[in-house]
Amino acid sequence: MGRMTVNPAPTALWPAPHASGAVDATVHVPGSKSVTNRALVLAALASEPGWLRRPLRSRDTLLMAGALRALGVGIEEGVGPDGSGESWRVIPAALHGPATVDVGNAGTVMRFLPPVAALTDGPVRFDGDPRSYERPLSGVIDALRVLGARIDDDGRGALPLTVHGGGALDGGPVSVDASSSSQFVSALLLSAPRFNQGVEVRHTGATLPSMPHIRMTVDMLRAVGAQVDTPESGGEPGVWRVTPGALLGRDLTVEPDLSNAQPFLAAALVTGGKVVIPDWPARTTQPGDRLREIFTEMGGSCELTERGLEFTGSGAVHGIDVDLGEVGELTPGIAAVAALADSPSTLRGVAHLRLHETDRLAALTKEINELGGDVTETADGLHIRPRRLHGGVFHTYDDHRMATAGAIIGLAVDGVQIENVATTAKTLPDFPELWTGMLGD
Ligand SMILES: O=C(O)C1=C[C@@H](OP(=O)(O)O)[C@@H](O)[C@H](O)C1
Ligand SMILES: C=C(OP(=O)(O)O)C(=O)O
């Protein structure tokens, strides 16, 4: 079992609202973290300014924007060309060091930015939350060294570290074991159009999690004019190639974060109610789109209409046996629903979650069991046998998805208190307001 990160500061307890009946609400979910942070990097590396509309403003994306600004990129508040508000104008500029980057505990910032830093003309120091020192990064560090970068770290292949930008990077072929995080592959691909020789990334590990997130990287690169060859476009299995070339400045509207839609859909499922999520994309690479299928198997039904995704619970919640390797970030919310189901569940393919914001397998097991549940860890996931749960404190370990998982359980179980609900600010700062708004609708 891995180590759970514990916030040493005493933090407030949030009484998770108990649902008195079936929810019936429309919830506007803010923009996708994964899309916003990729769009910021690509816009910063482009050869002309671009627009980002309805960007997510959360801890992870503000850290990304702050880091790019520290490297010289202009990111201004603005009104988009169509007059809509809530936009960022990204103005690329020569990338400079020295600079300091705070990654917080954002996987996207700690993995996507070292390749960008290698293109600057000076030292860029990376630091972050204590947990960021424990999260895997060696795939990015080792690969960048092979591609020509100079990096000082303390020998652990992790944060903190300094990338000594040389004004350019050779690029070329590189092998990486991305079995601990798909973000290693995404990181190398995102900056590769700016490497002298582009990149050829060959994944060498036995497994590769979160493929939809790699597809998101490829799609977004292509949308700004990059040439990318992938295993899916007829290339070799496990090999991605990016050709060097200039990137376009685009006008991109960010989709709602479908993984952050999860607790609201779960609310419809566990209360036998209905939730509508406006602007659910008809086609997307976001892993949260798989919820339509997973939560249907668990007892709900859904329909994409002109109002958005209309999701309805039947009143029954069923267990599920599912491999979540492609959609690991959905695991905490699925585990919460599974703990309230009428039959056991097996969640598989997510061993790498032990190195996410916290050890999510250990944290879910401990917190659900402390409310009276019966969860056991397996080598790559969880067995969940539903039991009658009781109230108590649900600890979050600085993990936004633990907080939302606890809130789902609180809908059905009286007296659940979430410790440090404010940790949802990592990707969804408005969570408590959206949650109580949904219940009051
Ligand atoms: O590239 C991305 O935006 C992400 C990739 C996934 O990371 P891992 O492959 O490390 O699980 C996912 O869990 C994370 O929330 C976001
Ligand atoms: C794993 C996650 O985040 P990160 O981008 O920090 O890896 C997550 O949001 O579930």
Mean pLDDT score, 215-231: 97
User: Rounded to the nearest whole angstrom, what is the distance from the C-alpha of residue 265 to the centroid of ligand 2?
Assistant: 20
- Mean residue pLDDT across the chain: 96
Atom of ligand 1 nearest to the CA of 352: 11
Mean pLDDT score, 188-200: 98
| Any atom of ligand 1 within 6 Å of the Cβ of 423 | no
What's domain 33-253's superfamily in CATH? Enolpyruvate transferase domain (3.65.10.10)
Q: Whose CA is nearest to atom 9 of ligand 2?
A: 329
| Any atom of ligand 1 within 6 Å of the Cβ of 328 | yes
User: Rounded to the nearest whole angstrom, what is the distance from the C-alpha of residue 34 to the centroid of ligand 1?
Assistant: 8
| Any atom of ligand 2 within 6 Å of the Cβ of 61 | no
Q: Would the pLDDT of 250 be above 80? A: yes
CATH architecture of 13-31+256-440: Alpha-beta prism (3.65)
Q: Whose CA is nearest to atom 11 of ligand 1?
A: 181
The pLDDT value given to residue 10:
44
The pLDDT value given to residue 78:
86
Greater model confidence, 86 or 298: 298
Site to probe by mutation for ligand 1, drawn from 36, 181, 353 as the one with most ligand atoms within 8 Å of Cβ, is 181
Q: Whose CA is nearest to atom 7 of ligand 2?
A: 107
| Any atom of ligand 2 within 6 Å of the Cβ of 107 | yes
| Any atom of ligand 2 within 6 Å of the Cβ of 329 | yes
User: Rounded to the nearest whole angstrom, what is the distance from the C-alpha of residue 183 to the centroid of ligand 2?
Assistant: 10
| Any atom of ligand 2 within 6 Å of the Cβ of 128 | no
The answer to whether 360 is annotated as binding is yes
Q: Whose CA is nearest to atom 3 of ligand 2?
A: 107
Q: Could you tell me where in the chain the CATH 3.65.10.10 domains are found?
A: 13-31+256-440, 33-253
| Any atom of ligand 2 within 6 Å of the Cβ of 108 | yes
Q: Whose CA is nearest to atom 8 of ligand 2?
A: 329
The pLDDT value given to residue 7:
45
User: Rounded to the nearest whole angstrom, what is the distance from the C-alpha of residue 36 to the centroid of ligand 2?
Assistant: 13
| Any atom of ligand 1 within 6 Å of the Cβ of 250 | no
Hey, CA dihedral for 283, 285, 287, 293, is it positive or negative? positive
Q: Would the pLDDT of 1 be above 90? A: no
Interface ipTM: 0.99
Atom of ligand 2 nearest to the CA of 37: 5
375-434, pLDDT tens digit by residue?
999 999 999 999 999 999 999 999 999 999 999 999 999 999 999 999 999 999 999 999
Q: Which residues are identified as catalytic?
A: 329
Q: Would the pLDDT of 319 be above 80? A: yes
Q: Whose CA is nearest to atom 10 of ligand 2?
A: 329
The pLDDT value given to residue 397:
98
